[in-house]
């Protein structure tokens, strides 16, 4: 079957579930994963033919997309901050908003990154995307990454090896730690922050497939992880250290109050590319 013909079939079978732009994105992601072909290659090879095995691979992807399984889980890979990351059902899929958080940290440390060593802790590391991206771009940094999930840490360790960076991984529940035992220049976290009352806003592909442990908090204590991490940061941030969070878009004011109540200064709340309050920094 000609690939151009299959593209039409691929689109027709998904159009009742996804919009056309998203379907096209899926097609080109799979095209590159299976055939190392980009959009221009497809245009230049209109008569590229799929053999029986290749067609079966495409059909397997198509059937899973019909179940609204995320394309990143289907292929087992994604890209974050220009780096390749393995993903599976034990980790959240890294998102563009989190790339913005990484970029913010890097922009605040560009001047010192090549001269002064930094000690960084990423809490709730998941795939390791934040810790690994910081380690890659801050070569003088000593980076630690903590997660409660052993299976998530297995993914993160694999990603560190793939990207050839050194990260110290810690298997602990942040809620059970009273003192981190050392000082850090930067503490960063993208902890669970979606309240149960917001589940109706979550797309089916996220709700059905991504780990709820990394997503949801109880409605009556939505800042549970932020409060605990902020308390630890009071003890374990170095002088002039900084605390960074990715946050629930509806709780920006509450996050400012939390940091103020714990004596942080130079507090800055930032919006993401979609115009939502998404990240905050406090200095110590």
Return contacts of 14-23, CB within 8 angstroms, 24+ apart: 14/62, 14/65, 14/66, 17/65, 17/66, 17/68, 18/65
Instruction: Flag whether pLDDT at 113 surpasses 70.
Output: no
CATH fold of 89-283 reads Rossmann fold (3.40.50)
Instruction: Flag whether pLDDT at 237 surpasses 60.
Output: yes
Q: What is the CA radius of gyration of the chain?
A: 21
pTM to 2 decimals?
Answer: 0.92
Predicted pLDDT of residue 216: 85
pLDDT grade for 148, boundaries at 50, 70 and 90: very high
Predicted pLDDT of residue 35: 95
Residues 101 and 246: their CA atoms lie apart, in Å, by 7
Predicted pLDDT of residue 51: 95
The strand pair at 168-171 and 118-123 is best described as unpaired
Nearest to 284 by CA among 245, 247, 246, 237: 237
* Average pLDDT score over the chain: 93
Range of lowest pLDDT (18-27, 108-117, 161-170, 187-196) = 108-117
Predicted pLDDT of residue 97: 94
Instruction: Flag whether pLDDT at 66 surpasses 90.
Output: yes
Predicted pLDDT of residue 210: 82
pLDDT grade for 3, boundaries at 50, 70 and 90: very high
Predicted pLDDT of residue 218: 84
Instruction: Flag whether pLDDT at 114 surpasses 60.
Output: no
Name the CA dihedral angle for 52, 54, 55, 59, rounded to a multiple of 10 degrees. 130
Domain ranges of the chain: 3-67, 89-283
3-class secondary structure, 265:
strand
Q: What's the mean pLDDT in 149-171?
A: 98
Instruction: Flag whether pLDDT at 241 surpasses 80.
Output: yes
pLDDT tens-digit series, residues 194-226: 888 887 788 878 888 888 888 888 888 999 999
Predicted pLDDT of residue 166: 97
Instruction: Flag whether pLDDT at 139 surpasses 80.
Output: yes
Instruction: Flag whether pLDDT at 150 surpasses 60.
Output: yes
Instruction: Flag whether pLDDT at 112 surpasses 70.
Output: no
Predicted pLDDT of residue 200: 76
Q: What percent of the chain has pLDDT over 70?
A: 98
pLDDT tens-digit series, residues 21-50: 999 999 999 999 999 999 999 999 978 999
């Amino acid at each position: 079957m000609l690939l151009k013909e299959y593209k039409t079939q691929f689109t027709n079978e998904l159009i009742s579930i996804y919009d056309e732009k998203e379907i096209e994105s899926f097609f080109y992601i799979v095209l590159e994963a299976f055939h190392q072909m980009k959009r221009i290659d497809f245009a230049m090879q209109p008569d590229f033919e799929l053999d029986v095995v290749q067609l079966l691979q495409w059909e397997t992807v198509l059937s899973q997309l019909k179940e609204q399984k995320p394309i990143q889980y289907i292929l087992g890979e994604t890209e974050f901050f220009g780096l390749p990351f393995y993903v599976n059902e034990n980790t959240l899929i890294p998102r563009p908003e989190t790339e913005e958080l990484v970029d913010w940290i890097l922009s605040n440390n560009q001047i010192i990154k090549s001269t002064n060593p930094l000690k960084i802790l990423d809490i709730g590391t998941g795939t390791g995307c934040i810790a690994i991206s910081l380690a890659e771009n801050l070569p003088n940094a000593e980076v630690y990454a903590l997660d409660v999930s052993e299976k998530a840490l297995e993914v993160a360790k694999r990603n560190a090896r793939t990207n050839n960076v050194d990260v110290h991984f810690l298997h602990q529940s942040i809620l059970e730690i009273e003192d981190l035992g050392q000082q850090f220049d930067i503490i960063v976290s993208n902890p669970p922050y979606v309240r149960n009352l917001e589940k109706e806003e979550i797309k089916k592909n996220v709700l059905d497939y991504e780990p709820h442990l990394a997503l949801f908090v109880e409605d009556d204590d939505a800042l549970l992880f932020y409060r605990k991490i902020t308390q630890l940061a009071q003890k374990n941030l170095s002088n002039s250290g900084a605390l960074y969070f990715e946050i629930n878009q509806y709780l920006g004011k509450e996050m400012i109050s939390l940091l103020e109540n714990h004596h942080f200064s130079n507090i800055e709340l930032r919006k993401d590319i979609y115009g939502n309050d998404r990240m905050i920094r406090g200095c110590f």
